[in-house]
Every structure is written in structure tokens, then in C-alpha cells.
Amino acid sequence: VQLQASGGGWVQTGGSLRLSCETSGFTFDYGSITWFRQAPGKEREAVSCIRTRSGVTYYAQSVKGRFTISRDNAKNTVYLQMNSLKPEDTAVYYCAAIRQNVISSSWHIGRSYDYWGQGTLVTVSS
């Protein structure tokens, strides 16, 4: 299984970016994909998750209403649309996959995930 995260870049406060997580070898018939982020000097944080078959989604409170996760099962790709970006959103964003339908109490637990992408840097300038 391979995950390829892309779409990061530099944007001003209030701007938008769309991240992509292309997968290979991971079936979308059953499983979940989550975006995590890690800012310099901070712990890794779960941002948003989607169950790849049903489309059920979960969001961290800090991004709810600003970020939208979606998937294209035909392309085996998950997206993270990020709007109204803030400087505190600056981080390296990673996508991770697990062959389970995660639930609301566990989707944010990074050590549960089996596969990780290489990360893409998002920088939001104030």
C-alpha cells in the first residue's frame, strides 16, 4: 500500500488549498483514511477522517466548518478542501489509512493506522 499526499503550498490568511491523497494497493471497499498534521514543535493532530465506502466523516473541532474531506472511489483518492485558512493551520499534513471502519471515539488515534503518506507542507501567512 502506498499513499501520496500532495497539494500543499503557501497561502495567505483566509485563502484556500485542496490536498490530495492518492492511494495504491488500498481498496476503498472497506477502510478509512485520515488527514493528520504536525506543526513545528507540536504534537501530531488528527484533522479529518472519511470512511472510504460509506463516506462517513469526522472532523477535529478546530477545523469544523472550514475543512471538507471527500473521496473519489474511482480514483482511489481522498481530498481535503481547506478554506478560511489561518496561520495556526500551518503544518505538514499527512494522510494515513487503516483497513477498518473507524468510529468517532478512535478515528483520531494515529498509532492505529497502518499506512502513511510522506506529508505535504501547508504554510499560511498572516
Per-residue pLDDT of 6-24, as tens digits, reads 999 999 999 999 999 999 9
**Per-residue model confidence as pLDDT tens for the chain (126 residues):** 999 999 999 999 999 999 999 999 999 999 999 999 999 999 999 999 999 999 999 999 999 999 999 999 999 999 999 999 999 999 999 999 999 999 989 999 999 999 999 999 999 999
Question: Alpha-carbon distance 17 to 60, whole Å?
Answer: 18
DSSP state letter for 1:
-
Pair type for strands 45-51 and 32-38: antiparallel
Task: Output the pLDDT for position 4.
Answer: 98
- Give CB contacts under 8 A, 24+ apart, made by 67-70: 69/35
